[in-house]
Amino acid sequence: MERVSGLRFVVVGAGRSGLALTRFLLDRGGEVVLTDNRSEGLDPEVREMGRRGARLDLGGHDEAAFTRADRVLVSPGVPLTLPALESARRAGVTVWGEIEFASRFLKGRIIGITGTNGKSTTTTLTGLLLSGGGLDAVACGNLGTPLIEMAPADAPSRHYVVELSSFQLEAIETFRPHVAALLNVAPDHQDRYASHADYREAKGRIFENQRPEDRALLNRDDAETLEFAGGIAAGISFFSRLEKVEDGACVEGGRVVIRNAGRSREVLPVDQVPLVGVHNLENVLASVAAADLCGVASRSMASAIRRFRGLPHRIELVAENDSVRYYDDSKATNVAATAKSLAGFPGGVILILGGKDKGGDFASLVPLIRERAAGLVFMGKARDSIRAQVGEPVPARTVVTMAEAVAAAKEMAAPGQVVLLAPGCASFDAYRNYEERGEDFRRKVLSLAGGAPAPGGGR
């Protein structure tokens, strides 16, 4: 276990992960500099960390603090190319991410889940399946609860189901999941990575410290994911909605099944999975396969899956208005996610696209738009560039704000059709995060004349 007391730490980034790290270090006698290039709009707890003894360097970074530190701990949103980090490395200072540091304090079993899309849903559902199977399990990581917050209550019997972004995996050294799942790989974060190959390499790091006694879980239906199979030291299991697998989870005769050594055990019929879209069926299969690798009995999984209604802002039915259903998939922050979202509906979709562009190839959506969409609404900062890529394969409108987007979609939609917010972009042109964007969409939809929340409140 890592020593903390008496050592000098620089924590880079004063968001959720940075604050969790700072609390942990101060509680254990560490000397902490908490630094962020922002000085405004920070959580009030930042000032509390200052009152507790952390030195606050806000509005920029003091490079000398980095080079004097014993450890520099980096929040996921901070690029590892930051000049102060490069100076620290040249000075021989250890630079780790929060995930790497936290893992050194945990004796429990780690189930790591990464991929371009579906991570949060799969992480949450896997945690529920493990808990429902009688295991001490918690879902955490990029999902919202930093892994370091798990350390004080760690126990060897605990299972940590950890959502992992490419940003988090960039900064690992010895981090080792006992089960590591790669759900899919598609272009994303082109605004941060020099190439798709660099992004893909970051995702693949989830496997690099695994041993033969560990297990890797791969999507049999995703070509880029399968390319990792040849370089993995761990044993390999698969999940697939299109093919039968020898070991893992797949669809067989309209049923979700687990297969071990070629033998099948039914979990539940596919038509009893409550989530919308083929991509959510993939998420369920991945969760089932991961839970099976942790020893959960198949008979205990079905009831948890039937009860699971998904997470907010992931193809969430918000309301029905004048026989038009409104769905919030604000979490679709890249083109691949938008494609999966749109493909989940048979047709008649008024699709809302736009936000802060991450370099996505929106032209690739055109065949699917022709097949499934009845109209397009382009909004936000990227509205004109997306329209230039997509053209007008179906009737289209260009607007600026969410209010205008919802109003335009309402005008375009006919009874029986669907309005779908699946922007394919980051939210940072107008919102702090995709959750805030989704909540704004929800408010605007519910303000429509005659609008009624979906059964159960849409949640």
Is residue 7 packed enough to be buried (19+ CB in 10 Å), middle (13-18) or exposed (0-12)?
Answer: middle
d(CA 450, CA 71): 57
Interatomic CA distance for residues 72 and 116, integer angstroms: 27
Place of tokens 């797949």: 250
Are 239 and 258 contacting, i.e. CB atoms less than 8 angstroms apart?
no
Distance CA(347)–CA(371), nearest Å, equals 7
370 CB-near residues (< 8 Å, 6+ apart):
393, 394
17: which 2 tokens? 């992960």
Q: Which residues are known to be catalytic? A: 119, 142, 189
